[in-house]
Amino acid sequence: MSNKADKITAIKGMNDLLPADAHLWEIFENTAQSVVQSYGFQQIRTPIVEETRLFSRAIGAVTDIVEKEMYSFEDSMNGDQLTLRPEGTAGVVRAVLEHNLVYEGPKRLWYKGPMFRHERPQRGRYRQFHQFGAEAVGFTGPDVDAEMIVMCRRLWDDLGLENIRLEINSIGDAEERARHRVDLIAYLQQHEEHLDADAKRRLHTNPLRILDTKNPDLQGIVNSAPKLLDYLGAESLAHFEGVKKILDANAIQYTVNTRLVRGIDYYNRTVFEWVTDELGAQGTVCAGGRYDPLIEMFGGKPTPAVGFAMGIERLIELMKGAGDTAAPRQCDVYLVHQGEAARMQAFIIGERLRDAGLDVILHCGGASGPGSFKSQMKKADGSGATFAVIIGEDEVANNTAVVKAMRAAEGEGQQQTVAFEGVVDYVVDQITCGDDCDHDHGHHHHH
Ligand code: ATP
Ligand code: MG
């Protein structure tokens, strides 16, 4: 590795998760998991690699993802066409059908994990990114559509995220969209010379997507375009009204954005996005909707479904802006020692403390030994430990250890010599300091 040009780095747009951020990811994932579990959702994990045709069929040939974003390759063993999953729904639906999961009735499922899209990397847009998502399969709605939305709201609240607003729309069914499409194309053709290259390309393939354009020059044109909502029949409208009614009854605020569509073909009726202004251009943190036609498209019995996917990176960005991002302390007890016999004792005490449910770091030095007491105590301090347990040659000779309080709440600086056998009880006692203690003992529950 002496030659700089030889240095191997991560692939552009694919990020490491470093310890400094790990606790935020843990908070997000744990909170999200407990929220969806409180609605009866169960976890599903599907492979990261699937057959390419799973995605091209589910997502649609004329979408951004299938046109240009998929990481596809040929399996060198057998020539199979494979793709790194760009989203989670297609794999979940494949698994639901393959294992006949809805045989016993509807299912509520959640997933999380990496997704891959060959995009131009920028803030909030990566080539490997992570989604947390949920799919409710076999429910006609609109109650379950509303449940999805309410569940997201609960997650934002639990995470302390305030500036996320909800946009909803209904994109009807295929027939309604077909009628709208005729008028939309005719309208856009009248303005064709003002369209950008992207919009011109989509005019006959995926004109609905033009409504979603981020080009400011096109806003006037798309604002006056025929609205899909005006083409919906009674059933689609009743469904949409049903969703809105539940949202209203639960004091969920939203705006109806008649231009909101999804970039993926399989959606129908309810679509929604959670959007923030705090992340610049990449402001959508969660996107979802109903996809009743998808399962039948895959050869299953007609089975309605609704789901959403959140971009975890974007939500972590919001969490960073929202407040307390300090890493939690690394341990309850830091073990300091000097000499071979003391090291053995420290190791054993560490195991006993962990048996008692505490988080413990045993000081481990470099090639030249553990270092001086002073330098070890510095490490103990930096770990945020509540107590240091110190064992030197004198302590070994007397079968004792010194327990030193490291934090003000525990009587900082105070230290106590304790018999080796009694160290665990003493520390546990001090940390829980009786049932009537109201000190904050950090991130987990001691017994
Ligand atoms: P965009 O219009 O921003 O490209 P999209 O319609 O492609 O979004 P979806 O396929 O609906 O996005 O994915 C759901 C969510 O996943 C997005 O709202 C976003 O939060 C997140 N997401 C999508 N692509 C990326 C990416 N390349 N990097 C990071 N997060 C992403
Ligand atoms: Mg995209």
Q: Which domains does the chain have, with CATH numbers?
A: 8-172+232-322 (3.30.930.10), 333-433 (3.40.50.800)
Q: Which residues contact 33 (CB under 8 A, 6 or more apart)?
A: 43, 110, 112
Q: Relative to the alpha carbon of 127, which ligand is closest?
A: 1
Query: In this predicted structure, what is the pLDDT of residue 63?
Result: 80
CA of 432 to the centre of ligand 1 (A): 45
- Residue 62, pLDDT above cutoff 50: yes
Q: Is residue 131 in contact with ligand 1, taking CB distance under 6 Å?
A: yes
What is the DSSP annotation of 70-121? -EEEE-TTT--EEEE-S-SHHHHHHHHHHTTGGGGS-EEEEEEEEEE-----
Residue 65: pLDDT band (50, 70, 90) is confident
* 435 pLDDT more than 60: no
**311 annotated among ligand-binding-site residues:** no
In this structure, are residues 384 and 329 in contact, taking their beta carbons and an 8 Å threshold?
yes
Q: What is the pTM of this model?
A: 0.89
Write phi, then psi, for 310 (nearest 5 degrees).
-110, 145
pLDDT: which is higher, 408 or 406: 406
Q: Which two tokens stand for residue 319?
A: 């969490």
Whose Cα sits closest to atom 6 in ligand 1? 263
254 marked as binding residue: no
Structure confidence at residue 437 (pLDDT) = 52
Best CA proximity match to 402, nearest among 383, 386, 419: 419
Q: What is the residue with the minimal CA distance to atom 23 of ligand 1? A: 311
Residues contacting 340, CB < 8 A, separation 6+: none
Spacing, Cα 403 to ligand 2 middle (Å): 55
441 in contact with ligand 1, CB cutoff 6 A? no
442 pLDDT exceeds 70?
Answer: no
Distance CA(252)–CA(154), nearest Å, equals 10
What residue's CA is closest to ligand 1, atom 21? 311
Q: What is the mean pLDDT of the chain?
A: 91
Position 446 scores a pLDDT of 40
What is the DSSP secondary-structure string of 277-289?
STTTT--EEEEEE
Given a cut of 60, whether residue 439 has pLDDT beyond it is no
Amino acid in position 41: F
Section 267-279 average pLDDT = 94
Pocket of ligand 1 contains residue 265 by CB under 6 Å: no
Lowest mean pLDDT among 124-128, 145-149, 188-192, 432-436: 432-436
Closest CA to 168 of 236, 306, 270, 16: 270
Cβ-in-10-Å burial (0-12, 13-18, 19+) of 21 comes to: middle
How many Å from the N-terminal Cα to the C-terminal Cα in the chain?
Answer: 49
Across the strands, what pairs with 169?
Answer: 271
Judge whether residue 373 has pLDDT over 60: yes
- pLDDT at residue 312 in the model: 98
At 371, the pLDDT band (50, 70, 90 cuts) reads: confident
Inter-residue contact 118 to 65 (CB < 8 Å): no
**Which pLDDT score, from 0 to 100, does residue 440 have?**
47
Taking residues 318-331, what's their average pLDDT? 82
Q: Say how many Å lie between the CA of residue 75 and the centre of ligand 2.
A: 26
